[in-house]
A and B are shown apart, each in its own frame.
Chain A
Amino acid sequence: MKSTQYSEKVLDHFRNPRNVGTLEGENVAWGEVGNPVCGDLMKMYIKVADDKIADIKFQTFGCGSAIATSSMITEMVKGKTLDEALKVNRQDVADALEGLPPIKMHCSNLAADALHEAIKNYRGQKKGKVPLPVVRATKGPAKEIVGEKKFLKGVYYTVDDLSLFKDKRVMVLDRGNKSLETALELTKHTGRVIMLTPAKVISSTDTGLAKAIKQSDIKIIYESEPLEIRGSEEVEKILVHDLNEDEEYELFVDAIIILK
């Protein structure tokens, strides 16, 4: 389905999105759905007063209809009670936009889901249950990655000469300060350094180091772990497990550094 088949109303909301932004403070909750892996990410913020949505804002990474549905739903539910807002579903949003191309109905019409998440989160807070992020990062000895021992070339447990990695795509597993330092140093030799960490943030006992990592060109993949190293004779790709979405995907690299 071509994007040219968007309705005028979709295009209007895409060109002039309503209620863009974030909310903070008392009686504010937010919901997030989607995932960059599938193309869309939506964050919906609500501020509640008298059980009604007093204010609503959104941020969306996605295609034209992802942006339009987010914008549309903010107009539809502002002023409504939480129960009324919970009844607004994907089809209602699509109808309000004078229809969406069929192929976009599922992938980019997530605005209702994001709103429902926000309401659920708000009600969860009210009951005094602040949803804690699930920490899945495991400490202790790292388990062996499938295929790790198979490769003579491309798997590194120690790194002495970084110039070996000139212009290579290098994945560095987050194994504490030494691995962070190595990743940072690598950026002088190649434009493609990927850091894979099971954590939600890069943390370090050395706060300066953690900050330097964030400011660098290192591509950080959070909440993920390597499942398998694949290739013919050399390392060619890594099967990555996205812990948050419980999805697996292949990432093409030339080398992987697993400091012990």
Chain B
Amino acid sequence: MSYVNDAIAAISTPPGQGAVAVLRLSGKDALTIAAKVFRGRQRPAEATPRVQNFGTIVDNSGTVVDQVLLTVFRSPASYTGEDLVEIGCHGGALVTRRILELLLSAGARAAEPGEFTQRAFLNGKMDLTQAEAVMDLISAQTSLALRSANEQLEGRLGGAITAAREDLLNVLAHVEAYIDFPEEDISPETGSALKARMEKVANLLDGLLATANRGRILREGVRTVICGAPNVGKSSLLNVLLGFERAIVSDVAGTTRDTIEEAIQVRGLPLRLVDTAGVHAATDAIEKEGIERTQRQLAGADLILEIVDAHLPDQTRITLPVDSQAKHILVLNKTDLGLHPNWEGTQGVALSCTAGSGLELLCDAIFDLLADGMGENSASMVAINARHYDCMSRARDYLTAAMAGLDNNDSPEYTALEIRSALDAIGEVVGKVDAEELLGVIFGSFCIGK
């Protein structure tokens, strides 16, 4: 942990589903970082402290991620004593996580356990008795964090990150040997051989970064959106999957006006089910809002279960957002009433919510599409969390810069700086590299001794 006032960010509400969630951002650059992702009537730097500001969080392309209430606390009148921004967003693991990612990519660092509290203490926001508690808290949290880190590090995740670190250390040893021992009869790799070595590490990092999504799915569940035209049985499917009446089910089209989330497990795979308002041209305002929300839900989905009433000849189909990464399953419902010939030969799962038939087929389809090897053996359940992701994506960026420097024939000490920065970033997960460790690798690999 570094004792500096660089900006840190974290989700402050417990993980899981709630009506609202709160993210906190604290540090010297908190207001600047918030300004990069927040669009509202006032910029965070100009906002009146302690007053809620309505606005939106947008991503790099300007797409709205969520509507939020942003509150600015000016140093020293804040929880941490630093400039602090609280962002109240719609509860939901996906939205909060996405906002956290945006804050991290805007320049914040993922906070260590207890770091907000620690800063509050260090900035004199707490008295002596509270300090005692904080110290206990921090030592407990760090030892807990250490324990959990160690447990994780014993597994394949640790192995993979440690391997990336070792490979990168070897890359650095070649560069440093080339710098510090110009007169030795040694041949540290340079140029394309060194580049190949770097690419190997880059691939390793990319592989690890790719597991971030799997990690989120394991922790937070597959974000599953049930959608379709009004009255095709979306809520019925939700209820059948849940095994109890959750949504209001009626024959009046458009009864479900809000999204509803529930968690279930399919063959051990966690799913967060979202039932949405029907897709049709809405007239009343509340329903219109519901439909817009459906579009947002679709944009963030991992899995879309699109239902059609298959005993009818045709139906309004959903339009997937262009950049959607979601898996898609077409559910042909109401087959107990007969399958209309128009649907014959259509790829999909035929079932009947009212008759309760075909559910096993749907579960198989979901598992096949999303399990991605998970669940069969725990060793492949390796996944990185948000903090790891933050560290490793920074490492990956530095590595990209190092490779560019190599292509550009930059002098090796500049490439070395990028590699060291990458190692430092990985070091936040698996331990920093110090000069002695580096020299050990150099002297172990090369015969130095003029």
Q: Do A and B bind each other?
A: no
